[in-house]
A = this chain, B = another copy of it.
Amino acid sequence: MEKKDGYHVAVLGATGAVGQQMLNTLEQKNFPISTLTLLSSPRSAGKKLLFKGVEHTIQEVNPDSFSGVDIALFSAGGSVSKEYAEHAVRHGAIVIDNTSAFRMEESVPLVVPEVNEQALLKHQGIIANPNCSTIQMVVALEPIRQKYGLNKVIVSTYQAVSGSGAAAVDELYSQTKAIIHNESYEPAILPVKGEKNHYQIAFNAIPQIDKFEENGFTFEEMKMINETKKIMRLPDLHVAATCVRLPVATGHSESVYFEINEEGISVQEIKDLLATAPGVILQDDPDNQIYPMPADCVGKSDVFIGRIRKDLDELKGFHMWVVSDNLLKGAAWNSVQIAESLINLGIVK
Contacts and interface: CB of A to CB of B under 8 A. Distances in A.
Interface of A: 152, 154, 156, 158, 172-173, 176-177, 180, 191, 195-197, 199-200, 203-208, 212, 215-217, 225, 238-240, 242, 244, 246-249, 253, 255, 257, 267, 286-289, 291-295, 306-314, 317, 319, 321
17 contacts: A156-B255, A158-B205, A158-B244, A191-B289, A197-B289, A199-B295, A200-B293, A200-B295, A204-B293, A204-B294, A216-B286, A239-B313, A240-B257, A240-B317, A242-B319, A244-B253, A246-B247
Contacts of A196: 288-289
Contacts of A215: 309-310, 312
Nearest to A161: B203
Given A156-B255, A180-B173, A216 B307 contact: yes
Contacts of A293: 199-200, 204-207
A43 B176 CA distance: 34
Given A158-B158, A195-B289, A311 B246 contact: no
A313 B240 contact: yes
A203 B295 contact: yes
Contact of A291 (B156, B158, B195, B207): B207
Nearest to A289: B197
Given A216-B307, A238-B313, A240-B311, 15 more contacts: A176-B176, A199-B293, A199-B295, A205-B253, A205-B294, A207-B253, A207-B291, A207-B292, A207-B321, A208-B289, A216-B308, A216-B310, A242-B255, A244-B255, A246-B246
A204 B323 CA distance: 11
The 7 A-B pairs with the shortest beta carbon distances in the complex, nearest first, are A156-B156, A156-B255, A212-B286, A238-B313, A204-B295, A216-B309, A242-B255
A154 to B, nearest CB: 5
Contacts of A205: 158, 246, 248, 253, 293-294
Contacts of A225: 312
A311 B239 CA distance: 9
A249 to B, nearest CB: 6
Contacts of A216: 267, 286, 307-310
B242 A321 contact: yes
